[in-house]
């Protein structure tokens, strides 16, 4: 029950189910105890280092435990170690080649590594073998979208929508993320406003939190600051997961609500996990940068990376370097962001589409490259502009990119 609630992003019920399970650990076999504690560490405590320690012991004692290898891979993923995650997924498939759940993991991890062809192939295989398993559609849709196959991604989401209510909910969010990836925030808001009503009616609070934080980002993009703040506050009140809290805090900061963003940073710090502390430092770095304390901001971003090397930390660091005219440093960080673009498909590794965060990396890298006289600047401006061609409202970064391209051509 705890695992199922975790998949449906119902944090309260997942925690309650695990609390009941943990009362019974003295009645479990040694193997089942490790399996139960491991999923608790990952799903409820979110103590991924402890989960790795637990599962390494499990697979040492029970080498043929495919679930042990699969969950060890997931724990590695949550610490940002994608290669080790792929390695464990392959071990699980070697033990049970027909196990479609492990093949789904392999598809997702391949996508995070930027191997989109493998992700589509393996994800499509799972869709055929387990057509009612909604998550199997994600690596297919997101990998197609990462390759700018918009029609292919939309067709995959249309298939997902037919699998049932939870599949329809996930498909709606995926389509909203696709529209935001293209800068079409008004269209995304139409989808998200419908999703909010339906997910609230279904009682899916964890999924509703995702709807709300994406809506907050979209409201901010269309200039509706009050609605953006309201949606960010609601999202932060519905979930304690970093996939909600960090974006909500960033929206609040852009809307001038520094004190509320700091409260979110404190909450993340008080979770006492390395990755939540890393995200707390990102928020505080943005607060410092907003006040012109760039040295403090850089230091906090570097501290964040030491705790957990996240895509967001690299992006914010590169962007800040570019804004403060340290273009060589900016270029290094932002180039790494694009090399790790597979991670932006689901940037918090939470089975939640998030490619909308990628496009600005092309713009900021192009700016740094242009200042450094690197020829690839034009190519990255063009990539960014192609994604923002039908943006609604018009993207101010796109307007700036066009000016810079025009000026360099003269």
- Segment 34-86, tens digit of pLDDT: 999 999 999 899 999 999 999 999 999 999 998 899 999 999 999 999 999 99
Helices (H), 203-310: 205-221, 225-238, 242-254, 258-269, 274-290, 294-307
- Could you tell me which residues are beta bridge partners of residue 392? 184
pLDDT tens by residue, 114-161 = 999 999 999 999 999 999 999 999 999 999 999 999 999 999 999 999
The residues, ordered by sequence, that sit 6+ positions from 391 with a Cβ below 8 Å of its Cβ are 182, 183, 184, 185, 398
CATH number of the domain within which 67 lies: 1.25.40.10
Stated length of the chain: 410
- Tell me the pLDDT band of 8, cut-offs 50, 70 and 90: confident
pLDDT range class, residue 410, cuts 50, 70, 90? low
CA neighbor of 351 nearest in space, from 148, 146, 107, 156: 107
Please tell me the distance from the alpha carbon of residue 69 to that of residue 109, in angstroms, as a whole number: 14
Residue 125: inside a domain: no
Q: Is residue 119 part of a domain?
A: no
Examine the fold and report which residue of 97, 132, 158 is the final residue of a domain before the chain moves on: 97
Last residue of some domain: 97, 118, 143? Answer: 97
Q: Is residue 177 part of a domain?
A: no
Q: What percent of the chain has pLDDT over 70?
A: 100
pLDDT digits (tens, 9 = 90+) for 255-296: 999 999 999 999 999 999 999 999 999 999 999 999 999 999
Residue finishing a domain among 81, 97, 113: 97
Closest CA to 347 of 192, 243, 209: 243
Whether residue 409 has pLDDT greater than 80: no
For residue 199, being part of any structural domain is answered with no
- Give the span between the Cα atoms of 339 and 115, in whole angstroms: 11
Q: Residue 324 falls within a domain, yes or no?
A: yes
Q: Tell me, what DSSP letter sits at residue 272?
A: -
The pLDDT score that the predictor gives to residue 199 is: 93
Q: What is the pLDDT of residue 183?
A: 98
Per-residue pLDDT for 365 more than 70? yes
Rounded Cα distance, 118 and 193, in Å: 34
- Tell me the pLDDT tens digit for each residue of 190-225: 999 999 999 999 988 889 999 999 999 999 999 999
Give the dihedral of Cα atoms 116, 138, 218, 311; nearest 10 deg. -50
Q: Is residue 76 part of a domain?
A: yes
Residue 158 lies in a domain: no
Residue 109: which residues within 8 A CB-CB, separation 6 or more?
A: 73, 77, 82, 85, 86, 89
> Which residues sit opposite 71 in a β-bridge?
none
Average pLDDT for the chain: 96
Band of the pLDDT at 175, cuts 50, 70, 90? very high
Burial class (CB in 10 A: 0-12, 13-18, 19+), 276: buried
Residue 257: DSSP 8-state: -
Q: Is the pLDDT of residue 6 over 80?
A: yes
Lowest mean pLDDT among 3-17, 105-119, 276-290, 392-406: 3-17
Give the number of domains in the chain: 2
Residue 362 lies in a domain: yes
Q: Domain of 335?
A: 310-410
Q: How far apart are CA 223 and CA 192, in angstroms?
A: 17
């Amino acid at each position: 029950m705890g695992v199922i609630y975790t998949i449906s992003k119902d944090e309260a019920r997942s925690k309650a189910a695990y609390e009941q399970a943990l009362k019974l650990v003295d009645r479990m076999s040694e193997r089942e105890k490790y399996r139960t504690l491991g999923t608790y560490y990952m799903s409820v405590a979110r103590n991924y280092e402890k989960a790795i320690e637990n599962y390494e012991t499990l697979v040492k004692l029970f080498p043929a435990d495919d679930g042990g290898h699969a969950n060890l891979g997931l724990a590695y993923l949550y610490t940002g170690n994608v290669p080790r995650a792929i390695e464990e997924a392959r071990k699980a498939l070697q033990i049970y080649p027909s196990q479609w759940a492990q093949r789904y993991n392999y598809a997702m991890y391949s996508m995070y590594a930027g191997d989109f062809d493998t992700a589509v192939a393996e994800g499509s295989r799972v869709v055929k073998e387990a057509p009612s398993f909604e998550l199997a559609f994600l690596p297919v849709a997101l990998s197609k979208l990462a390759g700018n196959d918009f029609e292919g991604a939309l067709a995959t989401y249309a298939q997902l929508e037919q699998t049932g209510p939870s599949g329809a909910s996930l498909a709606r969010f995926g389509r909203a993320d696709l529209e935001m990836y293209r800068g079409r925030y008004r269209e995304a808001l139409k989808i998200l406003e419908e999703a909010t009503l339906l997910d609230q009616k279904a009682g899916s609070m964890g999924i509703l939190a995702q709807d709300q934080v994406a809506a907050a980002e979209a409201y901010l993009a269309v200039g509706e600051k009050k609605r953006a703040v309201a949606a960010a506050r609601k999202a932060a009140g519905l979930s304690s997961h970093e996939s909600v809290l960090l974006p909500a805090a960033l929206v609040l900061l852009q809307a001038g609500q520094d004190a509320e963003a700091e409260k979110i940073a404190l909450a993340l710090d008080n979770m006492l996990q390395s990755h939540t502390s890393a995200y707390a430092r990102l928020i505080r770095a943005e607060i410092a940068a907003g006040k012109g304390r760039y040295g403090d901001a850089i230091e906090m971003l570097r501290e964040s990376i030491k705790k957990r090397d996240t895509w967001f930390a690299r992006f914010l660091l590169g962007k800040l370097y570019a804004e403060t005219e340290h273009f060589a440093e900016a270029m290094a960080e932002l180039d790494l962001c694009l090399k790790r673009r597979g991670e932006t498909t689901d940037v918090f590794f939470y089975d939640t589409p998030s490619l909308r965060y990628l496009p600005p990396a092309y713009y900021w890298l192009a700016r740094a490259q242009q200042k450094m006289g690197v020829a690839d600047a034009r190519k990255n401006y063009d990539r960014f502009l192609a994604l923002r061609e039908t943006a609604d409202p018009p993207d101010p970064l796109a307007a700036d990119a066009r000016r810079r391209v025009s000026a360099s051509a003269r």
